[in-house]
Each structure stands twice: as structure tokens, then as C-alpha cells.
Amino acid sequence: MRAIVIESYGDNRVVNVVDVARPAPQAGELLVKVRAAGVNPIDWKIRDGAGQRMGMTLPIHLGGEISGTVEQVGAGVAGFSVGDAVFGIIRAGGFADYAMAPAADMVRMPAGLDFVTAAAIPLGALTAWQALFDVAGLARGQRLLITGASGGVGSLAVQIAKAAGAHVTAMASGRNADFVRGLGADVFIDYTAQPFEQVARDMDVVFDTVGGDTFQRAFATLRQRGFLVTSVGFPTEEDGQRNVGVGRVLCKPDAAQLSAIRDLVEARQLQPHVATVLPLEAVTDAFALSKGGRTRGKIVLEISP
Ligand SMILES: NC(=O)c1ccc[n+]([C@@H]2O[C@H](COP(=O)([O-])OP(=O)(O)OC[C@H]3O[C@@H](n4cnc5c(N)ncnc54)[C@H](OP(=O)(O)O)[C@@H]3O)[C@@H](O)[C@H]2O)c1
């Protein structure tokens, strides 16, 4: 079977399509025939060298977000049968014809959804869910600012926060205004037209998916004892000494949360936007696009049509 593998860290030249043996599921695992896989910034960040910091060992099989059908069920797994359509996040190996997944982390796919659209959901939606509810404790009626609102995480965060009854101010560049308003944002800020901290004030919660200067400036938009959660970088001790809460989300698999996310999709309250669909062999094009930082919604690899 085909798999996307790196044997050293570097740019796109270290990324190879290789022929590897099909794995066999261990106890508690599913072998999934991958139909589609979401492309995320973490994929090219691992390629660039983050894999080392994350404790991964080379060679690394890339790909952390899949949709597909159950091909084989490992010993001791209940609740899944061969042929079931599933989706979820995995640690590695998703950019391949077949992938191993802990059964406890996989969830039945939303009814009526195609594989490409389903693959655009798990990592972004789980990151948003965990940032908003687990880390920041977002509650109904609260005022929320989301930076990077047109991206893979932000575009799902806007919809999840609206479904939870928050008042959402969403920030992206002007070309994404209609897209972001269409996601349900109450207020749109074009960060290229004005300093966003002059417009967004008294926020209960900020969810920052951009980082750097945007993360630092976002503190000014919070009310006293508000909460800033970021998906990018690590808040410093100094960040924690302001009169607000600050935290970082680190997305992890959670089948109960992914099931709740699936319910939102089935209730038509959450709809991912797939910007670009590419074949597995075009993974380096996908990385170049993603690294460009202008993706609206998601890039998805269609692995088996
Ligand atoms: N910690 C975790 O567990 C976790 C999980 C998932 C993702 N992440 C990280 O979170 C970040 C976002 O991920 P993603 O998948 O959403 O990325 P993405 O899809 O590549 O985000 C691209 C979007 O960001 C917007 N953007 C770029 N600069 C901006 C700025 N200064 N202000 C507002 N919007 C801006 C762009 O809109 P414009 O073109 O309109 O500027 C674009 O639509 C990445 O760094 C990723 O690695 C972390």
C-alpha cells in the first residue's frame, strides 16, 4: 500500500510516497481503509522538525486525521463491524491507503456525509471544542473573539461557539468577510483594515489560532478576568501574570466529544468548508498551500475515491 513517509526532517524534498506493507490491527485497534485525510499545519510542522520535539522517531508516517471504512477489527473491539464508515484523529499514518486507529478514538461518520467532507472535521472541531469548553470554559451568552476565523480550526470554532449560544466576533482578512459571516459570526473584523484590539473589547474569551503578535495583542480585548486560549505556541509565565486567564489547547482524541460534534453536523449546525481536494501523490502541493497560511477552511487528500 502507499504511505507518505519522511526519513529525515526538512522541506518538501524529504516527503516520499513509499510502498509499505499493510499493517494488521492489534487488540483494541481498527484497520481503516482510508478514503480521505485532512491536511493540517501540524503535518508540515512535523516535517520541518517539530516531530523531534514531539518525541516522534524517524521514519515518520504522516497524516493525523482520517475518514474511511473499517477493513479489519482487532481483538476485543466491540461496536464496530467491517464496512462501517468512521472518522477521527490518529497519531500518525493517515496519509496512506490503510491506517491503524485505536477503536476507542474512532466514531461513526455523520449520516449522509461524503468521505472528503468528513475528513475535514475531526482535528479542527476537536481542537475548537477543547479550547472553548475544556480550557476556556466558554458559557452561553459570553462574548468570544476568534482569530484566524476562516481557517481549518477557526471556521469550525465559529460554528461550534454559535451552537453553544456565544456572541461571536470573528477575525480574518476582508476577502473572507462573506465566508466568515456565513458561518454565523455576529461581528466580523478585517484585521488588515484596522487594529483589531480597537474594535474588539470586553471579551469574556479569546480563542487565538494565529499566534505571535496577534496572540500578544489579543490580551487587550479581554475584560478583567477574561480568558485567552491559544492553539499556537506556548503562553509564557509573563502571559500568566496579567489579570486574565491564559491557556493552550493541545488537541487529543475524544470519542464522546467527536460524537457530539457529529450530532452538530447531522443537525446542520456545523458544516466544514473544503477549499481544495488533492490526490495522495500531491501531498507536497498540499503542504505548500497550507504553509502559505491563506487556506479558507481545509485542504483534503482524497485517497480512495
Ligand atoms: N494545539 C493544537 O492542538 C492545534 C490543533 C490544530 C491546529 N493547531 C494550530 O493552530 C493554527 C491554526 O490552524 P488551522 O488549521 O486553522 O490553520 P489554517 O487553516 O492554515 O489557517 C489559515 C487561516 O488563518 C487566517 N489568518 C492568517 N493570519 C491571520 C491573522 N493575522 N489574523 C486573522 N486570521 C489570520 C487566514 O485568513 P486570511 O487569509 O483572511 O488572513 C486563513 O484563512 C496552526 O498554527 C496549527 O498548527 C494547533
CATH code where residue 176 lies: 3.40.50.720
Q: For residue 264, tell me if it sits in a domain.
A: no
Share of the chain above pLDDT 70, in %: 100
pLDDT exceeds 90 at position 172? yes
Ligand 1 centroid, distance to 210 Cα (angstroms): 5
Whether 137 and 223 map to the same domain: the answer is yes
* Domain CATH code at residue 286: 3.90.180.10
Whether 90 and 107 map to the same domain: the answer is yes
- Number of folded domains that form the chain: 2
Whether 99 and 30 map to the same domain: the answer is yes
Predicted local distance difference test score (pLDDT) of residue 278? 98
How does pLDDT run across 222-261, given as a tens digit for each residue? 999 999 999 998 888 888 788 999 999 999 999 999 999 9
Query: Atom 46, ligand 1: which residue's CA is nearest?
Result: 41
Helix 255-266 and helix 122-129, axial crossing angle in degrees, nearest 10: 110
Whether 97 and 139 map to the same domain: the answer is no
Ligand 1 centroid, distance to 208 Cα (angstroms): 9
Q: How far apart are CA 57 and CA 294, in angstroms?
A: 30
Q: Give the long-range contacts of residues 241-250, CB within 8 A, separation 24 or more.
A: 244/219, 245/136, 247/135, 247/136, 248/135, 249/127, 249/130, 249/131, 249/134, 249/135
Predicted local distance difference test score (pLDDT) of residue 239? 84
Ligand 1 centroid, distance to 172 Cα (angstroms): 10
Q: For residue 266, tell me if it sits in a domain.
A: no
Question: Which domain covers residue 130, as residue numbers?
Answer: 124-248
How does pLDDT run across 70-93, given as a tens digit for each residue? 999 999 999 999 999 999 999 999
What residues line ligand 1, using a CB cutoff of 6 Å? 40-42, 123, 127, 147-148, 150-154, 171-173, 176, 191, 209-210, 214, 231-232, 249-251, 290, 293-296
Query: Atom 12, ligand 1: which residue's CA is nearest?
Result: 209
pLDDT exceeds 90 at position 268? yes
Query: Atom 45, ligand 1: which residue's CA is nearest?
Result: 232
Q: Which of 295, 296, 299 to mutate to test the pocket of ligand 1 (most atoms within 8 A of CB)?
A: 295
Query: Atom 14, ligand 1: which residue's CA is nearest?
Result: 152
**Closest atom, ligand 1, to C-alpha of 196:** 32
- pTM of structure: 0.98
Domain boundary among 233, 248, 263: 248
